[in-house]
Amino acid sequence: MTDIDAVKRALREQRIETPSWAYGNSGTRFKVFPQPGVPRNAYEKLEDAAVVHRFTGVAPSVALHIPWDRVDDYADLRRHAESLGISIGAINPNVFQENEYRLGSVCNPDPAVRRKAIDHILECIQIAEVTGSNILSLWFADGTNYPGQDDFIARQDRLAEALREVYDRMPDGMRMLLEYKLFEPAFYHTDIPDWGTSYAHCLALGERAQVLVDTGHHAPGTNIEFIVAVLLRVGRLGGFHFNSRFYADDDLMVGAADPFQLFRIMLEIVKAGAVNSSVAFMLDQCHNIEPKIPAMIRSVLNVQEATAKALLVDLDALRQAQENGDVLGANEVLMDAYHTDVRPLLASLREEMGIDPDPLAAYRRSGYAEKIIQERQGGTQAGWGA
């Protein structure tokens, strides 16, 4: 039997972080389609993120990407966030968009380039301290394109050395989340291709280094929920970058391509009692052709719906069926929950929270989209490389 009040409580307390870069213009290597009303700077990105929180009630923090979100005064940016009722979340150092990084950042054969990358990450620790963030989120575009281009192990050693320096400089209470990616922009090998490599580095570093699972960073068919379960078991699941993929790192709205996968992932979270834990539920996606703010609201709702369904799984019945070797029965318990329409439950929860039961409709009615199109004239729109 499921306790509906407990389900609602867990959903009410769940936190989903949105990424600043999703509010700016984005695209593919073929074309970036600009949209009217897009933020011109980090301050305006926070304003859009605050709107997503206002209508969903569960997205009170925003991840920053530096230097995309560089400002003169980070304490002032923090105050701006707080005045909007939100906070600054994970700080993501960007060590992939400068000319020096052609052969990598912290794995680069040139010590001067490695120094530059490490110094940037150390600067991001300071930014995190000033903005009140306790997550340093690392992804490296490092890798090679051709066999023989560089030495795997030499690169691993450089990586370990860089991570050690960074880890030792993190203040108490800060966590390092280490993201892996199987491919792109390097295609022969990447230096942190999988959760195992990330985990090995985290283990060597210490307890505050944890693995970040970006759902778009796996080979097709990978059982991501197994990875999630294994990392939870050893206390090293730091968080997620949620998005959807049809082919590769598509960065589409989470829950769009495969809502069932998202449910299966959330079920492992529920089983580990980690819905309201230090596991960071962050979105990492870009809205290339759809309007950004409602797409972000949709994404938050998709995570909530998957979580609600996972919370509805009758875990006692599931365990019973598993212990009895009842293959069909166990599967049925899962599918029963998955097929439940949780929208009425979430609508009633939102009413209890004092927000509109239909966040997307409320956003459309609010006039915010028209307002930013009107007000954000001139200047340079934020976007990739900006």
* Contacted entry of ligand PSV, Mn ion, none for residue 249, CB cut-off 5 to 8 Å set by kind: ligand PSV
Judged by CB under 5 A, the residue of 284, 298, 311, 368 near Mn ion is 284
Structure tokens at 96: 């992939």
Nearer to ligand PSV, 21 or 55 (CB): 21
Report, in Å, the least distance between residue 184 CB and ligand PSV.
7
The residues binding ligand PSV (CB under 6 A) are: 21, 92, 139, 179, 181, 214, 241, 249, 284
CB nearer ligand PSV, residue 354 or residue 385: 385
Other beta carbons less than 10 A from residue 319's beta carbon: 13
Q: Does 241 bind Mn ion (CB under 5 A)?
A: yes
Chosen from Mn ion, ligand PSV, none, partner binding at 181 (C-beta under 5 to 8 Å by type): ligand PSV
- To ligand PSV, the closest distance from the beta carbon of 92 in angstroms equals 5
Q: Residues touching Mn ion: how many (CB under 5 A)?
A: 3
- Collapse the DSSP code of 383 into the 3-class scheme (helix H, G, I; strand E, B; otherwise coil) and give the result: strand
**DSSP-derived pairing of the beta strands 16-19 and 237-242:** unpaired
Region of 36 on the Ramachandran plot (φ > 0 left; ψ -120 to 50 alpha; else beta): beta
* Contacted entry of ligand PSV, Mn ion, none for residue 155, CB cut-off 5 to 8 Å set by kind: none
Residue 191 in contact with residue 142, Cβ under 8 Å? yes
Give pairs for 199-203: CB < 8 Å, separation 24+.
199/231, 199/234, 199/236, 201/159, 201/160, 201/163, 202/176, 202/178, 202/236, 203/236
Nearer to ligand PSV among residue 54 and residue 92 (C-beta): 92
Residue span binding Mn ion (CB under 5 A) among the ranges 7-15, 20-28, 203-211, 235-243: 235-243
In the bound complex, what is the minimum distance in angstroms from residue 64's beta carbon to Mn ion? Answer: 14
Radius of gyration of the chain (CA): 21
Does 214 bind Mn ion (CB under 5 A)? Our answer is: yes
Rounded to a whole number of angstroms, the minimum distance from the CB of residue 248 to ligand PSV is 10
Residue 370 CA: distances (Å) to CA of 39, 58, 65, 175:
13, 24, 27, 39
Q: How far apart are CA 297 and CA 305, in angstroms?
A: 12
Task: Report CA-CA distances (Å) from 262 to 95, 148, 242, 243, 257.
Answer: 29, 38, 9, 10, 10
Which tokens belong to 273? 């009692």
Residue at 88: amino acid letter: I
What are the φ/ψ torsions at residue 301 (nearest 5 degrees)? -65, -40
Nearest approach, Cβ of 357 to ligand PSV (angstroms)? Answer: 32
CB-side exposure of 260: number of CA atoms within 13 Å?
A: 5
Identify what 21 binds: Mn ion, ligand PSV, none; CB under 5 to 8 Å per kind.
Answer: ligand PSV
Partner touching 47 among ligand PSV, Mn ion, none, CB below 5 to 8 Å by kind: none
Residue 175: contacted member of ligand PSV, Mn ion, none (CB under 5 to 8 Å, by partner type):
none
Minimum CB separation from Mn ion for residue 213, in Å?
9
Least Å distance between CB 90 and ligand PSV?
A: 10
- Structural contact between residues 46 and 372, judged by C-beta atoms closer than 8 angstroms: no
Nearest to ligand PSV of 214, 356 (CB atom): 214
Q: Which stretch binds Mn ion (CB under 5 A): 127-135, 276-284, 323-331, 355-363?
A: 276-284
In the bound state with Mn ion, the residue whose beta carbon lies nearer, of 19 and 60, is 19
Which stretches of the chain bind Mn ion, using CB under 5 A?
214, 241, 284
